[in-house]
Chain A
Amino acid sequence: MSVNASPTFAPGARVRIIDLKKQGHVRTPIYVREKVGTIDYFCGAFENPEDRAYGRVGGARIPLYRVRLMQRDLWPDYEGPDNDSLVLEIYDHWLQPA
Protein backbone atom coordinates (compact mmCIF):
# COMPACT_ATOMS: atom_id res chain seq x y z
CA MET A 1 0.00 0.00 0.00
CA SER A 2 1.22 3.46 -0.82
CA VAL A 3 0.80 5.36 2.40
CA ASN A 4 2.52 8.69 2.64
CA ALA A 5 -0.38 10.94 3.55
CA SER A 6 -2.18 10.29 6.81
CA PRO A 7 -5.91 9.70 6.79
CA THR A 8 -8.05 12.56 8.11
CA PHE A 9 -11.05 10.29 8.68
CA ALA A 10 -11.06 7.17 10.84
CA PRO A 11 -13.02 4.01 10.07
CA GLY A 12 -16.59 4.43 11.28
CA ALA A 13 -16.60 8.21 10.81
CA ARG A 14 -19.77 9.63 9.22
CA VAL A 15 -18.95 11.58 6.09
CA ARG A 16 -20.78 13.55 3.43
CA ILE A 17 -19.60 13.13 -0.14
CA ILE A 18 -19.64 16.68 -1.46
CA ASP A 19 -20.23 17.91 -4.99
CA LEU A 20 -17.16 19.83 -6.19
CA LYS A 21 -18.85 20.32 -9.57
CA LYS A 22 -15.49 19.71 -11.15
CA GLN A 23 -15.28 18.85 -14.85
CA GLY A 24 -12.99 16.31 -16.48
CA HIS A 25 -11.56 13.03 -15.28
CA VAL A 26 -13.35 12.92 -11.93
CA ARG A 27 -13.72 9.62 -10.06
CA THR A 28 -16.64 10.57 -7.79
CA PRO A 29 -19.82 9.32 -9.49
CA ILE A 30 -22.76 11.71 -9.56
CA TYR A 31 -25.10 9.21 -7.88
CA VAL A 32 -23.21 9.44 -4.55
CA ARG A 33 -22.75 13.21 -4.39
CA GLU A 34 -24.39 14.93 -1.40
CA LYS A 35 -24.99 11.50 0.16
CA VAL A 36 -23.90 10.53 3.67
CA GLY A 37 -22.05 7.34 4.49
CA THR A 38 -19.43 5.81 6.75
CA ILE A 39 -15.67 5.41 6.31
CA ASP A 40 -15.11 1.69 5.86
CA TYR A 41 -11.41 1.46 5.07
CA PHE A 42 -8.36 3.65 4.43
CA CYS A 43 -6.90 2.51 1.09
CA GLY A 44 -3.65 4.45 1.25
CA ALA A 45 -2.62 7.64 -0.49
CA PHE A 46 -2.70 8.11 -4.23
CA GLU A 47 -1.94 10.82 -6.72
CA ASN A 48 -5.02 12.80 -7.71
CA PRO A 49 -6.54 11.25 -10.88
CA GLU A 50 -8.06 14.67 -11.65
CA ASP A 51 -4.46 15.80 -12.36
CA ARG A 52 -2.88 12.55 -13.52
CA ALA A 53 -5.37 12.18 -16.36
CA TYR A 54 -3.95 15.35 -17.91
CA GLY A 55 -0.30 14.45 -17.57
CA ARG A 56 0.28 16.24 -14.28
CA VAL A 57 2.01 13.29 -12.64
CA GLY A 58 4.18 13.15 -9.54
CA GLY A 59 1.94 15.43 -7.49
CA ALA A 60 1.01 15.08 -3.83
CA ARG A 61 -0.64 11.88 -2.74
CA ILE A 62 -4.01 12.23 -1.12
CA PRO A 63 -5.83 9.82 1.17
CA LEU A 64 -8.34 7.51 -0.48
CA TYR A 65 -11.08 5.76 1.48
CA ARG A 66 -13.69 3.12 0.86
CA VAL A 67 -16.97 4.72 1.92
CA ARG A 68 -20.04 2.60 2.68
CA LEU A 69 -23.49 3.96 1.91
CA MET A 70 -26.82 2.34 2.66
CA GLN A 71 -28.86 1.69 -0.50
CA ARG A 72 -31.90 3.25 1.23
CA ASP A 73 -29.97 6.53 1.50
CA LEU A 74 -28.96 6.39 -2.16
CA TRP A 75 -32.33 5.49 -3.65
CA PRO A 76 -35.53 6.30 -1.71
CA ASP A 77 -37.46 3.61 -3.64
CA TYR A 78 -34.77 0.92 -3.28
CA GLU A 79 -36.35 -2.51 -3.71
CA GLY A 80 -34.25 -4.51 -1.22
CA PRO A 81 -33.97 -4.75 2.57
CA ASP A 82 -32.64 -1.92 4.76
CA ASN A 83 -29.21 -3.48 5.30
CA ASP A 84 -28.21 -3.61 1.61
CA SER A 85 -25.29 -1.31 0.97
CA LEU A 86 -22.75 -0.03 -1.52
CA VAL A 87 -19.06 0.67 -1.03
CA LEU A 88 -16.94 2.88 -3.28
CA GLU A 89 -13.65 4.76 -3.25
CA ILE A 90 -13.66 8.47 -2.49
CA TYR A 91 -10.66 10.82 -2.28
CA ASP A 92 -10.22 12.96 0.80
CA HIS A 93 -11.03 16.30 -0.84
CA TRP A 94 -14.54 15.08 -1.75
CA LEU A 95 -15.41 14.35 1.90
CA GLN A 96 -16.69 16.43 4.80
CA PRO A 97 -17.57 15.31 8.33
CA ALA A 98 -21.30 14.62 8.58
Chain B
Amino acid sequence: MNSDDPDHDHHHDHAHSRHPTREDDDVALSYGEAKFLALKSMLIEKGVLTADQIRRRHEINDLLTPHQGARMVAKAWVDPAFKARMLKDAKTAAIELGIEVTEAELMAIENTPTCHNIIVCTLCSCYPRSLLGEPPPWYISKAYRSRAVREPRKVLREFGLSFPDTVEVRVHDSNADLRYVVLPMRPHGTDALSETELADLVSRDCLVGTALPAQDAS
Protein backbone atom coordinates (compact mmCIF):
# COMPACT_ATOMS: atom_id res chain seq x y z
CA MET B 1 0.00 0.00 0.00
CA ASN B 2 1.27 3.40 -0.94
CA SER B 3 0.66 5.90 1.82
CA ASP B 4 1.46 8.84 -0.47
CA ASP B 5 -1.45 7.88 -2.65
CA PRO B 6 -3.65 10.97 -3.08
CA ASP B 7 -6.89 9.00 -3.37
CA HIS B 8 -6.22 6.85 -0.37
CA ASP B 9 -6.63 9.58 2.17
CA HIS B 10 -10.25 9.62 3.26
CA HIS B 11 -10.35 13.39 3.27
CA HIS B 12 -10.39 13.20 -0.51
CA ASP B 13 -13.55 11.16 -0.36
CA HIS B 14 -15.70 13.87 1.14
CA ALA B 15 -16.14 16.02 -1.95
CA HIS B 16 -19.87 16.57 -2.35
CA SER B 17 -19.97 17.68 -5.95
CA ARG B 18 -18.05 17.11 -9.13
CA HIS B 19 -16.49 20.52 -8.90
CA PRO B 20 -14.28 22.19 -6.35
CA THR B 21 -15.76 24.47 -3.72
CA ARG B 22 -16.26 27.97 -5.10
CA GLU B 23 -15.37 31.00 -3.05
CA ASP B 24 -18.09 33.01 -4.83
CA ASP B 25 -20.86 30.42 -4.60
CA ASP B 26 -24.36 31.86 -4.13
CA VAL B 27 -24.97 29.77 -1.03
CA ALA B 28 -23.02 30.39 2.15
CA LEU B 29 -19.95 28.21 2.66
CA SER B 30 -20.26 25.51 5.27
CA TYR B 31 -17.71 25.27 8.07
CA GLY B 32 -15.94 22.44 6.22
CA GLU B 33 -15.85 24.29 2.93
CA ALA B 34 -14.44 27.43 4.52
CA LYS B 35 -11.82 25.33 6.28
CA PHE B 36 -10.96 23.59 3.02
CA LEU B 37 -10.46 26.89 1.20
CA ALA B 38 -8.35 28.29 4.04
CA LEU B 39 -6.20 25.14 4.10
CA LYS B 40 -5.79 25.28 0.34
CA SER B 41 -4.51 28.86 0.38
CA MET B 42 -2.17 28.09 3.28
CA LEU B 43 -0.69 25.07 1.46
CA ILE B 44 -0.04 27.25 -1.57
CA GLU B 45 1.31 30.14 0.53
CA LYS B 46 3.72 27.86 2.40
CA GLY B 47 4.86 26.28 -0.85
CA VAL B 48 3.68 22.75 0.11
CA LEU B 49 1.61 22.53 -3.06
CA THR B 50 1.40 24.77 -6.08
CA ALA B 51 -1.89 26.03 -7.47
CA ASP B 52 -0.99 24.25 -10.69
CA GLN B 53 -0.63 20.88 -8.92
CA ILE B 54 -4.09 21.31 -7.42
CA ARG B 55 -5.55 22.36 -10.76
CA ARG B 56 -3.90 19.36 -12.44
CA ARG B 57 -5.42 16.99 -9.87
CA HIS B 58 -8.92 18.41 -10.54
CA GLU B 59 -8.29 17.99 -14.25
CA ILE B 60 -7.32 14.33 -13.78
CA ASN B 61 -10.38 13.73 -11.56
CA ASP B 62 -12.64 15.24 -14.22
CA LEU B 63 -11.19 12.97 -16.90
CA LEU B 64 -12.00 9.76 -15.02
CA THR B 65 -15.15 8.01 -16.21
CA PRO B 66 -16.96 4.71 -15.53
CA HIS B 67 -15.73 3.53 -18.92
CA GLN B 68 -12.55 2.11 -17.35
CA GLY B 69 -14.61 -0.13 -15.08
CA ALA B 70 -16.88 -1.14 -17.97
CA ARG B 71 -13.86 -2.03 -20.08
CA MET B 72 -12.56 -4.22 -17.30
CA VAL B 73 -15.90 -6.05 -16.97
CA ALA B 74 -16.13 -6.67 -20.74
CA LYS B 75 -12.61 -8.09 -20.72
CA ALA B 76 -13.53 -10.39 -17.83
CA TRP B 77 -16.60 -11.61 -19.75
CA VAL B 78 -14.58 -12.62 -22.81
CA ASP B 79 -11.37 -13.77 -21.11
CA PRO B 80 -11.80 -16.28 -18.25
CA ALA B 81 -8.10 -16.10 -17.31
CA PHE B 82 -8.34 -12.31 -16.97
CA LYS B 83 -11.54 -12.71 -14.93
CA ALA B 84 -9.71 -15.04 -12.53
CA ARG B 85 -6.88 -12.51 -12.16
CA MET B 86 -9.39 -9.69 -11.63
CA LEU B 87 -11.20 -11.58 -8.87
CA LYS B 88 -7.89 -12.41 -7.21
CA ASP B 89 -6.42 -8.90 -7.42
CA ALA B 90 -8.46 -6.25 -9.20
CA LYS B 91 -5.78 -3.59 -8.88
CA THR B 92 -3.17 -5.62 -10.76
CA ALA B 93 -5.79 -6.59 -13.36
CA ALA B 94 -6.71 -2.91 -13.91
CA ILE B 95 -3.06 -1.95 -14.30
CA GLU B 96 -2.74 -4.76 -16.84
CA LEU B 97 -5.37 -2.93 -18.94
CA GLY B 98 -3.37 0.29 -18.75
CA ILE B 99 -5.66 1.88 -16.17
CA GLU B 100 -3.87 4.29 -13.84
CA VAL B 101 -5.00 3.07 -10.41
CA THR B 102 -4.70 5.56 -7.55
CA GLU B 103 -6.49 3.41 -4.95
CA ALA B 104 -4.35 1.43 -2.50
CA GLU B 105 -6.44 -1.71 -2.95
CA LEU B 106 -9.25 -2.65 -5.31
CA MET B 107 -11.51 -5.66 -5.00
CA ALA B 108 -13.92 -7.00 -7.63
CA ILE B 109 -17.06 -8.69 -6.29
CA GLU B 110 -18.78 -11.11 -8.65
CA ASN B 111 -22.54 -11.28 -9.06
CA THR B 112 -23.83 -14.85 -9.47
CA PRO B 113 -27.27 -16.36 -10.12
CA THR B 114 -27.62 -16.77 -6.34
CA CYS B 115 -25.98 -13.58 -5.04
CA HIS B 116 -26.42 -9.94 -6.01
CA ASN B 117 -23.89 -7.45 -4.61
CA ILE B 118 -24.29 -3.76 -3.85
CA ILE B 119 -21.61 -1.31 -2.70
CA VAL B 120 -21.99 1.56 -0.23
CA CYS B 121 -19.68 3.56 2.01
CA THR B 122 -21.60 4.34 5.19
CA LEU B 123 -18.85 6.41 6.83
CA CYS B 124 -18.06 8.84 4.02
CA SER B 125 -18.24 8.13 0.32
CA CYS B 126 -15.27 5.92 -0.60
CA TYR B 127 -15.51 5.04 -4.26
CA PRO B 128 -13.17 3.45 -6.85
CA ARG B 129 -12.54 6.69 -8.76
CA SER B 130 -9.85 5.24 -11.04
CA LEU B 131 -12.43 2.87 -12.47
CA LEU B 132 -15.65 4.88 -12.14
CA GLY B 133 -14.73 8.56 -11.98
CA GLU B 134 -16.46 10.83 -9.49
CA PRO B 135 -19.40 9.27 -7.62
CA PRO B 136 -22.96 10.33 -8.48
CA PRO B 137 -24.74 12.57 -5.94
CA TRP B 138 -27.03 9.76 -4.74
CA TYR B 139 -24.01 7.61 -3.80
CA ILE B 140 -22.78 10.24 -1.36
CA SER B 141 -26.27 11.14 -0.06
CA LYS B 142 -26.97 10.30 3.57
CA ALA B 143 -30.16 8.55 2.47
CA TYR B 144 -28.30 6.02 0.29
CA ARG B 145 -25.47 5.58 2.79
CA SER B 146 -27.81 4.77 5.66
CA ARG B 147 -30.58 2.92 3.80
CA ALA B 148 -28.38 0.66 1.62
CA VAL B 149 -27.27 -1.27 4.70
CA ARG B 150 -30.63 -1.14 6.51
CA GLU B 151 -33.11 -1.92 3.72
CA PRO B 152 -31.08 -2.83 0.62
CA ARG B 153 -33.96 -4.58 -1.15
CA LYS B 154 -36.17 -1.53 -0.86
CA VAL B 155 -33.36 0.70 -2.14
CA LEU B 156 -32.75 -1.69 -5.06
CA ARG B 157 -36.48 -1.67 -5.90
CA GLU B 158 -36.33 2.12 -6.10
CA PHE B 159 -33.50 1.68 -8.64
CA GLY B 160 -35.80 -0.73 -10.54
CA LEU B 161 -34.19 -3.98 -9.40
CA SER B 162 -35.99 -6.70 -7.56
CA PHE B 163 -34.70 -10.14 -6.67
CA PRO B 164 -36.51 -13.26 -5.48
CA ASP B 165 -35.80 -14.47 -1.93
CA THR B 166 -33.68 -17.28 -3.39
CA VAL B 167 -31.09 -14.68 -4.43
CA GLU B 168 -28.98 -13.38 -1.56
CA VAL B 169 -28.56 -9.62 -1.53
CA ARG B 170 -25.11 -8.92 -0.16
CA VAL B 171 -24.18 -5.38 0.85
CA HIS B 172 -20.52 -4.37 0.93
CA ASP B 173 -19.72 -1.45 3.21
CA SER B 174 -16.55 0.17 1.84
CA ASN B 175 -15.69 1.47 5.30
CA ALA B 176 -11.91 1.12 5.51
CA ASP B 177 -8.97 0.45 3.17
CA LEU B 178 -10.40 -1.40 0.16
CA ARG B 179 -12.41 0.00 -2.74
CA TYR B 180 -14.96 -2.19 -4.50
CA VAL B 181 -16.33 -2.71 -7.97
CA VAL B 182 -19.11 -5.16 -8.86
CA LEU B 183 -18.49 -7.63 -11.67
CA PRO B 184 -22.01 -8.11 -13.09
CA MET B 185 -23.18 -11.22 -14.92
CA ARG B 186 -22.98 -11.12 -18.70
CA PRO B 187 -26.51 -10.70 -20.11
CA HIS B 188 -28.00 -13.54 -22.17
CA GLY B 189 -28.08 -13.08 -25.91
CA THR B 190 -24.80 -11.17 -26.11
CA ASP B 191 -22.64 -13.95 -27.57
CA ALA B 192 -22.19 -12.16 -30.88
CA LEU B 193 -21.02 -8.87 -29.37
CA SER B 194 -17.43 -7.68 -29.43
CA GLU B 195 -15.58 -6.69 -26.28
CA THR B 196 -16.12 -3.00 -27.10
CA GLU B 197 -19.84 -3.54 -27.66
CA LEU B 198 -20.04 -5.46 -24.38
CA ALA B 199 -18.39 -2.59 -22.52
CA ASP B 200 -21.16 -0.30 -23.81
CA LEU B 201 -23.72 -2.43 -21.94
CA VAL B 202 -22.06 -1.78 -18.59
CA SER B 203 -23.22 1.46 -17.01
CA ARG B 204 -21.77 3.12 -13.93
CA ASP B 205 -24.58 1.89 -11.71
CA CYS B 206 -23.97 -1.75 -12.79
CA LEU B 207 -20.51 -1.40 -11.26
CA VAL B 208 -21.99 -0.23 -7.95
CA GLY B 209 -24.68 -2.93 -7.99
CA THR B 210 -27.73 -0.68 -8.37
CA ALA B 211 -28.37 -1.70 -12.00
CA LEU B 212 -27.90 -4.69 -14.30
CA PRO B 213 -26.26 -4.54 -17.72
CA ALA B 214 -28.67 -3.97 -20.60
CA GLN B 215 -29.00 -6.64 -23.31
CA ASP B 216 -28.27 -3.98 -25.86
CA ALA B 217 -26.76 -0.55 -25.48
CA SER B 218 -29.75 1.29 -27.02
- State the A residues within 8 Å of B (CB): 1-2, 25, 27-29, 31, 43-44, 46-47, 49, 52-53, 57-58, 64, 66, 71, 74-75, 79-81, 83-91
Contacts and interface: CB of A to CB of B under 8 A. Distances in A.
B170 A57 contact: no
Nearest to B153: A80
Contact of A29 (B89, B123, B169): B123
A88 B121 CA distance: 10
Given A44-B105, A84-B170, A86-B171, 6 more contacts: A27-B123, A29-B123, A43-B178, A81-B166, A84-B153, A87-B170
Given A79-B153, A88-B172, A49 B1 contact: no
B96 interface: no
Give the contact-size bracket for chain B: 20 to 34
A9 to B, nearest CB: 16
Contact of B176 (A64, A75, A79, A85): A64
B175 A89 contact: yes
B22 interface: no
Contacts of A87: 170-173
A29 B175 CA distance: 8
B68 to A, nearest CB: 22
B52 interface: no
Nearest to A49: B176
A31 B3 contact: no
Contacts, number: 78
Contacts of A89: 173-178
B105 A79 contact: no
Contacts of A58: 3
Contacts of B89: 1
B12 interface: no
Nearest to B11: A53
Which DSSP category, helix, strand, loop or mixed, fits chain A's interface? mixed
24 contacts: A1-B89, A1-B105, A25-B10, A27-B123, A31-B149, A46-B176, A46-B177, A74-B149, A80-B165, A81-B165, A81-B168, A84-B168, A84-B169, A86-B149, A86-B171, A87-B173, A88-B172, A88-B176, A89-B174, A89-B175, A89-B176, A89-B177, A89-B178, A90-B176
B176 A86 contact: no
Nearest to A75: B150
A35 to B, nearest CB: 12
Interface in B108-151: 122-123, 149-151
Contacts of B14: none
B154 interface: yes
- Leading 7 A-B pairs by shortest Cβ distance: A89-B176, A88-B173, A81-B165, A2-B1, A86-B171, A27-B176, A83-B168
Given A31-B122, A84-B169, A57 B176 contact: no
